Amino acid sequence: MTTAERTHRMIDDAHGISDTRHCISSADFNVDDLRQLFQLAEQCARFAGDERFSSLLNNKTVATLFYENSTRTRVSFELAAKRLGADTVHLSADGSSIKKGETLNDTLDTLIALGCDAVVMRHPISGIAKKAASFLGSRAALLNAGDGCGDHPSQGLLDAFTLHQYFKGELAGKKITIVGDALHSRVIRSNLVLLNTFGMEVHVCGPVAFVPKHFAPLGCLIYHKLEDALNGADAVMALRLQQERQQSGLIASLGEYHREYGLTLDRLKQWAKPNAPIMHPGPMNRGVEISSTLADCPQRSLIRRQVSNGLLVRQALLIRALIPQTIPEILSW
């Protein structure tokens, strides 16, 4: 068992069962956990609308607590909970007592007192999800929906699931090139762990300011020239230019960034493997890190598939967090 697993696997004293509840980092998952999670996500697709599925989380309440903006992550966690029959409640920093200065722990205590079983939390501070999880202990499951530049496990997992589907489970030895603002991206940190777990060769490309040398030990080869990084890639992933997290002056201009590192259909055709698919976690800066023609290319783009897979993977994560003892039965359906 890894340290991360030990940290997050807890004994529920009240029920005397070993319970895997929190989901803090993609490092919480070994290959077997990942295969099981993906099977669970596939069952969520197969049994969508089936009454056995839509009542799995009856009597459970899932809170989405967002201190940062979100579209895909928030909506898909909320829909995932609803599809499984849970009650949901949303709290954003704007429009709640957080605005009046309430501490995170007091907000978490309030959600617990109101009967929440899981808290899906997005927060601008890296590492805070782990602290929130240890504050909650076994009172509720904490699912990290992105903490600063730290981790974004559900995004990493839906990306890995999408690749696993696309390559029919044959990920080992495939080359994936990730292009963009790695420095400020929590998505890439979650992806590096998972793609390496599946034995993929990961190439990361961007300007020196966004792809510093210290990324290499995280399990990737570093490039600053797009042509070299895309050469022979089986799949390509664009990262958003995270302008809200950057100091100014890191790049000369958006136009110049697009000229040097923008992903276009022509560039993929020229340098990557034939038909290599393109991924992007969203939201996209069209015309900056990715051209609209590529983003909307039906033969190449997996971007919408990523979003719909997000709903399945997040259902699987909620099942794992709230009713882990039911997983063998669900997989046997």
Q: Which residues contribute to the site for ligand NCD (CB under 6 A)?
A: 72-73, 146, 152, 155, 186-187, 240, 242, 281-282
Smallest distance from the beta carbon of 154 to ligand NCD, in angstroms? 8
DSSP string, 7-53: HHEEEETTTTEEEE--B--GGG--HHHHHHHHHHHHHHHHTTT-HHH
Smallest distance from the beta carbon of 273 to ligand NCD, in angstroms? 25
**104-113 and 128-136 helices cross at what angle (nearest 10)?**
40
Smallest distance from the beta carbon of 253 to ligand NCD, in angstroms? 20
Toward ligand NCD, which CB reaches closer, 19 or 181?
181
Smallest distance from the beta carbon of 181 to ligand NCD, in angstroms? 8
Toward ligand NCD, which CB reaches closer, 72 or 164?
72
Smallest distance from the beta carbon of 321 to ligand NCD, in angstroms? 18
Smallest distance from the beta carbon of 299 to ligand NCD, in angstroms? 23
Toward ligand NCD, which CB reaches closer, 43 or 144?
144
Beta strands in 245-314 (DSSP E): 278-279
Q: 105-110 — which CB contacts under 8 Å span 24+ positions?
A: 105/135, 107/65, 108/65, 108/132, 108/135, 108/136, 108/140
Amino acid present at 176:
I
Toward ligand NCD, which CB reaches closer, 277 or 282?
282
Q: Cα(78)–Cα(15) distance, rounded to whole angstroms?
A: 27
DSSP conformation class of 222: E
Q: Cα(250)–Cα(210) distance, rounded to whole angstroms?
A: 8
Closest CB to ligand NCD belongs to which residue?
Answer: 240
Q: Cα(57)–Cα(54) distance, rounded to whole angstroms?
A: 8
Toward ligand NCD, which CB reaches closer, 88 or 155?
155
Smallest distance from the beta carbon of 242 to ligand NCD, in angstroms? 6
Q: Cα(44)–Cα(315) distance, rounded to whole angstroms?
A: 7
Q: Pairing relation of β-strands 235-238 and 175-179?
A: parallel
Toward ligand NCD, which CB reaches closer, 187 or 251?
187
Q: Cα(217)–Cα(220) distance, rounded to whole angstroms?
A: 7
Toward ligand NCD, which CB reaches closer, 206 or 282?
282
- CA 118 remoteness from chain centre: 17
**What's the alpha-carbon Rg for the chain, to the nearest Å?**
20
| Sign (positive or negative) of CA dihedral 212, 216, 218, 219 | positive
Smallest distance from the beta carbon of 281 to ligand NCD, in angstroms? 4
Toward ligand NCD, which CB reaches closer, 75 or 104?
75
Cis peptide before 274 (omega within 30 of 0): no
Toward ligand NCD, which CB reaches closer, 146 or 277?
146
